[in-house]
Amino acid sequence: MELPRVDLEQIRALMKLMEQFNFDEIDLREEGRRLHLSRGGRQRSGGGPVVVPTMVAPSLGGADAKPASAAPVAAASAADPGAGIKVIRSPMVGTFYRAPSPDSPNFVEEGAHLTEDSVLCIIEAMKVMNEIKAECQGELVKILVANGEAVEYGEPLFHVRVS
C-alpha cells in the first residue's frame, strides 16, 4: 500500500494557524485521505500540535450498502454510565497506558479514591507521554480501555462517581 504524499509546508502552515487562533485540533478530509492535527488540550506538556496523518478507506459498497456499526456494544454502555457518573474521555489520539512503565504498578485501580490531580493513565502520542489527570474528586468506578490499546479523541476512558 502506498502512503499518501505529505506536504510539510502545508502542515507547518496549519500548525501556525492553530497557534494563532488557539485551535486545539484540525481534522481535514479530502479524496479518501485524512489529516488530523491535535494539540491535546491541557495535558500536552510541549503545547505544540501532534500530527496524526491517517488514510480513510474509500467506500466499497454501492447505494444499497449498509454502514458498519460505529461502536461495539460495550462502547454503547460507556456512553450512558448513569446519574452521578462522570465520563473521562481521551483528549487526543494515541496509545493508552495504565502504568508509567511495564514493570511499574498501575496509576489507579477500580475503586480508588481520586482527587483533581490523580494521574489516571498516560497516552502516548508521537513518542510524547501525556499524563491524563482526573480533574475531579470521586471514586473510580470503571476502566474502559485495556493497557496498550489505541484510543481516539473523545473516546471514553474511565467512569468516576463524583463526590
Q: What is the tens place of the pLDDT at every residue in 57-105?
A: 443 344 443 333 333 434 444 456 678 899 999 999 999 999 999 899 9
* Dist CA 105 CA 107 (whole Å): 6
Rounded to a whole number of angstroms, the CA Rg of the chain reads 18
Whether 80 and 146 map to the same domain: the answer is yes
Confidence class of residue 130 from pLDDT cuts 50, 70 and 90? very high
User: C-alpha grid cell for residue 82?
Assistant: 448513569
As a whole number of Å, the end-to-end CA separation of the chain is 50
- DSSP three-state, residue 75: helix
Q: What is the pLDDT of residue 30?
A: 67
Q: What is the pLDDT of residue 39?
A: 72
Taking 50 as the threshold, does the pLDDT of residue 17 lie above it?
yes
| Counted domains in the chain | 2
Average pLDDT over residues 105-133: 93
Q: What is the pLDDT of residue 160?
A: 95
Q: Is residue 62 part of a domain?
A: no
Q: Is residue 63 part of a domain?
A: no
Q: Is the dihedral of CA 113, 116, 117, 122 positive or negative?
A: positive
* Dist CA 78 CA 116 (whole Å): 21
Confidence class of residue 41 from pLDDT cuts 50, 70 and 90? very low
CATH number, residue 122: 2.40.50.100
Whether 80 and 144 map to the same domain: the answer is yes
In DSSP terms, 129 is beta-bridged to 124
Q: How much of the chain exceeds pLDDT 70, in percent?
A: 67
- Cell 513518542: give the residue: 127
Q: What is the pLDDT of residues 19-35, one digit of tens each?
A: 777 777 777 776 666 77
Q: How many Cβ atoms sit within 10 Å of the Cβ of residue 84? A: 11
Range of the domain at 18: 8-55
Q: Is residue 32 part of a domain?
A: yes
Q: Is residue 87 part of a domain?
A: yes
Taking 60 as the threshold, does the pLDDT of residue 55 lie above it?
no
Whether 82 and 149 map to the same domain: the answer is yes
